[in-house]
Structures are given as structure tokens and as C-alpha cells.
């Protein structure tokens, strides 16, 4: 059992803990943690059997803690990953991994130098329907991939008020990208490979809290395929990714509803069982720490996702196409 500390006990930190706590099959349990406002989490932590420690340094100094799961504000991730690695703790870190390619590379290097496992929380990689889409690309059912479409939207920004860290443009550049859209960027990389360049439009259409609410991009993959993408931070919740090939189209609506349309013949529609993707990613992290299969998101792809995000920020600010470093 991997004894882990949760770093950040806000809504998402609690979601991670709740997904595995008390489930021995997951191979991970939360025993300690720290948070910016411990009084808000005290009752919940007591129910979960989690010791609240004074700060991150106290967590790293605790010999009972073998790993950390970082669910803190985005701008803190890089330094916390590096510090945890140097303290010999395995690291699970929420997305976005970091906010610059250079800091992502430094974080990965620290984990490699320390010999600790690092896992990034892009949980949609654990959807059975996504595994089927990858298989369709690999076995040729879609032919040559021409284009990818994706959207991940939701109304979360409506609740962001001044003083909240998520309402800070430094923490939430490009509106919904940090909370939602970065997942779709990772999905594009997972399915279609490295992204070569991006063009982005991002602005506030309706909200007045200082953040963008509408972000749209045109992308080109290194393979030559193209992609269109949007994340809307004030729209009803929506997830869709579609692959357009010379021989077929695969389209995933939500997490479970996958449709396939071949160029010739009959297509199909399948509904996959609901998957606890937070439990799945944490269990995969625990297995990797225990010497099992490597976590199914290579560090190079984690770094590339940050490089794409950084390029998107630059492209939106300049109004020009940015190559991904």
C-alpha cells in the first residue's frame, strides 16, 4: 500500500482522496497532507483518517509519507514536484503539469535524478473508449488520419470571484485551458502525436472577472494532420473528441458514447461502462511505484503538453501562429 499525502484539500484534492480511500485494490491510501486553509478541510480530513500537517515542508519531512499527490494552485506545481523528488517522495501531480516548458523539464529531471516515479493526472487516458480509439488508429480502421476535433467546456468560471486563485490570469491563462482544455490537448497528443504549431483566439465574451471565457485554436500535428479545438469556460458541460481519417470517423461524445462511421459499409455506436478515472490514474501510479507497468503517460509527452500550452498563450497574445518549442 502506497502511503501518500494530499497537497491541497480543495474540491479537487478531496475528489482524488475520495476516489481511493478505503479501497485496498487501488494500492494507495492517503495518510497525511497540507492545505492553505486547514480549518475548511479539518472535518473532512478527520473522516478520511488524514493527518493535516503544518505545511509542505512538514509533509516532505514525514518518514511515513512515501508519495505526494499535488492538487495545489498551478503555479506551485513545478517547485513542489522538484522539492518532493529531492526528498525522495514519488509524485502524482495534477494538470496542468507546470506553466512553462522549462519548468516542466526541470521537474522531470529532478524526478529522474532522484529515481522517483512521476505521474501526471490526465485522467481521460484511462477511458476504455479512448483505448478503442487508439486501437482504431493503430490497426488502420480509420486509414490515414486527416483531422482531429475536440471540445471540453463547462460553466466553472461563472463561480470564480476576485481573490480566488483560479480567478488570477497568471493561474488561469486562456480561460478554461488550465482547468479543462489542457485535458483535450493531452488527448490530442495521446491519440495523434506531437503538435507542431498553433493559432489561437481567446477572449472574454460574457464574464467580467478578468478571465477569458472563449478559447479556440487551430493546430497542426507533426504528422501533417490538423485539429480544431475549443474550451468555453461558461458553457454547459461538454466533452467531445473526433478523429477523421481517410477510411473512417470515430467520435466520442462524453466519456462513454463512441460512434464509428466507415467510408463504406455499416458503422456502429457503443456505450462503454462508466469508469472512475481518478481511481484508475491513482491506482496506475501506485502500480508504477510498486515496480509494475510504467505510468501510461510518458514524461516526454507531459513536457510536450506544457510546451503546447505555452505556445497557445503566446499565439493568443500575439495574434500569430506559434511553433511549439
Last residue of a domain, one of 103, 123, 143: 123
Pair (232, 102) in one structural domain: no
Across 50-56, average pLDDT = 98
> What's the Cα-to-Cα distance from 247 to each of 140, 211, 223, 233, 263, rounded to whole Å?
8, 41, 17, 34, 5
The rounded distance, in Å, linking the Cα atoms of 12 and 134 is 28
| Total count of domains within the chain | 2
Rg of the chain over Cα atoms, rounded to whole angstroms, equals 20
Cα 163 versus chain centre, distance: 24
Per-residue pLDDT tens over the stretch 249-263:
999 999 999 999 999
What pLDDT does 47 receive?
A: 97
The reply to whether 176 and 263 lie within a common domain is yes
Residue 243 and residue 191: Cα distance in Å, rounded? Answer: 9
Q: Given the C-alpha cell 522531470, which residue does it identify?
A: 108
Residues 158 and 278 in one domain: yes
Q: Are residues 41 and 95 in the same domain?
A: yes
pTM for the model stands at 0.95
Give the model confidence (pLDDT) of 203-232 as tens digits: 999 998 889 999 999 999 999 999 999 999
- Whole-number pLDDT of residue 288: 98
Q: Are residues 159 and 290 both part of a single domain?
A: yes
Tens-digit pLDDT profile for residues 140-197: 999 999 999 999 999 988 888 887 888 788 888 999 999 999 999 999 999 999 999 9
Element (H, E) at 142: none
> In CATH, what number is assigned to the domain containing residue 38?
3.40.50.720
CA 315 to chain centre: 21
Q: Answer yes or no: do 80 and 229 share one domain.
A: no
Bridge pairing between strands 268-271 and 257-262: antiparallel
For residues 87 and 129, membership in a common domain is answered with no
pLDDT of residue 188: 98
What range does the domain containing 171 cover? 124-323
One domain for residues 172 and 158: yes
Of 96, 123, 150, the position where a domain reaches its end is 123
Amino acid at each position: 500500500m502506497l502511503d501518500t499525502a494530499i497537497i491541497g484539500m480543495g474540491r479537487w484534492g478531496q475528489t482524488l482522496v475520495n476516489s481511493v480511500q478505503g479501497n485496498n485494490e487501488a494500492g494507495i491510501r492517503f495518510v497525511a497532507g497540507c492545505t492553505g486553509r486547514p480549518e475548511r478541510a479539518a472535518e473532512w480530513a478527520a473522516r478520511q483518517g488524514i493527518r493535516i500537517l503544518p505545511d509542505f515542508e512538514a509533509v516532505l519531512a514525514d518518514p511515513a509519507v512515501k508519495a505526494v499527490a499535488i492538487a495545489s494552485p498551478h503555479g506551485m506545481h513545478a517547485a513542489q514536484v522538484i522539492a518532493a523528488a529531492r526528498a525522495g517522495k514519488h509524485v502524482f501531480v495534477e494538470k496542468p503539469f507546470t506553466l512553462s516548458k522549462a519548468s516542466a523539464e526541470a521537474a522531470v529531471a529532478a524526478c529522474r535524478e532522484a529515481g522517483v516515479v512521476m505521474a501526471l493526472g490526465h485522467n481521460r487516458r484511462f477511458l476504455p473508449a479512448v483505448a478503442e480509439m487508439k486501437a482504431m488508429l493503430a490497426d488502420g480502421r480509420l486509414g490515414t488520419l486527416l483531422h482531429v476535433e475536440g471540445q471540453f467546456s463547462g460553466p466553472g468560471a461563472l463561480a470564480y470571484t476576485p481573490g480566488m486563485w483560479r480567478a488570477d490570469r497568471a493561474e488561469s491563462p486562456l480561460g478554461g485551458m488550465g482547468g479543462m482544455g489542457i485535458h483535450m490537448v493531452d488527448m490530442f497528443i495521446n491519440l495523434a502525436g506531437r503538435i507542431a504549431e498553433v493559432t489561437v483566439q481567446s477572449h472574454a465574451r460574457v464574464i467580467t472577472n478578468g478571465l477569458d471565457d472563449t478559447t479556440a485554436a487551430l493546430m497542426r500535428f507533426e504528422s501533417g494532420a490538423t485539429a480544431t479545438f475549443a474550451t468555453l469556460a461558461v458553457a454547459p458541460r461538454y466533452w467531445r473528441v473526433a478523429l477523421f481519417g481517410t477510411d473512417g470517423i470515430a467520435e466520442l461524445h462524453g466519456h462513454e458514447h463512441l460512434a464509428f462511421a466507415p467510408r463504406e459499409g455499416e458503422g456502429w455506436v457503443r456505450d462503454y461502462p462508466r469508469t472512475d478515472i481518478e481511481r484508475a490514474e491513482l491506482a496506475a501510479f501506485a502500480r508504477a511505484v510498486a515496480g509494475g507497468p510504467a505510468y501510461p503517460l510518458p514524461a516526454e509527452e507531459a513536457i510536450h503538453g506544457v510546451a503546447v500550452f505555452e505556445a497557445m498563450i503566446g499565439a493568443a497574445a500575439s495574434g500569430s501562429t506559434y511553433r511549439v518549442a
